[in-house]
């Protein structure tokens, strides 16, 4: 029963549709009807502006972090072991689903990448750092947020498996297993983007490109 309560609270935390709220308050638009149609940071940057997008991104990351690190601790207190890791994974996963399928906007949310990043930061920050580096490199070369997000997601389980070889504490087995599911979820959420990438009409941020065409 307690775990169920944690999941529900985490889902509600993740459901806060900050991109939709900011877009309506600042730009007077429904962000899901403009740009890429995604209710997330990158589309807010594209449609509303950089400051609004960064604010949305920070809030979305914090949703994942709070649901994972704070909600379980608040309800059941501090304890060690695999059980608390599983509970934190369930709480963080609920927040990501809340962001992607928000109860406050007819279950039409974003792709959950920033919220997922917040969740992973609470669980294994070193792997998130490496995934962020891969995201940045991919983004700088090609300028596609979708491709960069997929690359970061694929990098995550590889990092979790290899980082202990560099002396870091191994992640709990339950977390390792969960990271194998992350790329599948991210690819599923970006299926429309993948189709546009294959057709060559996916929108990208030209200004970030390291190697620009002359």
pLDDT, one tens digit per residue, over 63-98 is 999 999 999 988 887 655 547 899 999 999 999 999
Provide the pLDDT for residue 74. 85
Report pLDDT for 37: 87
Contact 64, 118 (CB under 8 A): yes
User: What pLDDT score does 214 carry?
Assistant: 46
Instruction: Give the residue ranges of the chain where pLDDT is below 70.
Output: 78-82, 211-214
Instruction: Look up the pTM and report it.
Output: 0.91
- The reported pLDDT for the residue numbered 104 is 95
d(CA 188, CA 124): 23
Amino acid 207: pLDDT: 76
DSSP per position, 112-135: -HHHHHHHHHHH-HHHHHHHHHHH
């Amino acid at each position: 029963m307690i775990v169920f309560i944690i999941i529900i609270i985490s889902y509600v935390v993740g459901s806060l549709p900050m991109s939709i709220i900011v877009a309506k308050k600042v730009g007077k638009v429904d962000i899901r009807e403009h740009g890429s149609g995604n209710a997330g940071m990158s589309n807010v940057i594209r449609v509303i502006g950089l400051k609004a997008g960064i604010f949305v991104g920070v809030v979305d990351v914090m949703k994942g972090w709070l649901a994972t690190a704070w909600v379980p601790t608040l309800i059941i207190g501090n304890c060690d072991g695999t059980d608390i890791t599983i509970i934190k994974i369930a709480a963080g996963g609920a927040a990501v689903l809340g962001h992607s399928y928000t109860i406050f906007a007819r279950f039409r949310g974003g792709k959950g990448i920033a919220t997922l990043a917040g969740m992973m930061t609470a669980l294994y920050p070193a792997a998130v750092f490496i995934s962020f580096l891969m995201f940045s490199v991919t983004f700088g070369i090609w300028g596609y947020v979708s491709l960069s997000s997929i690359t970061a997601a694929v990098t995550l389980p590889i990092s979790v498996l290899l980082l202990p070889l560099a002396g870091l504490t191994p992640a709990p087995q339950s977390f390792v297993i969960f990271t194998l599911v992350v790329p599948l979820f991210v690819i599923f959420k970006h299926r429309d983007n993948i189709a546009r990438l294959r057709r060559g009409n996916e929108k990208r941020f030209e200004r970030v490109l390291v190697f620009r065409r002359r």
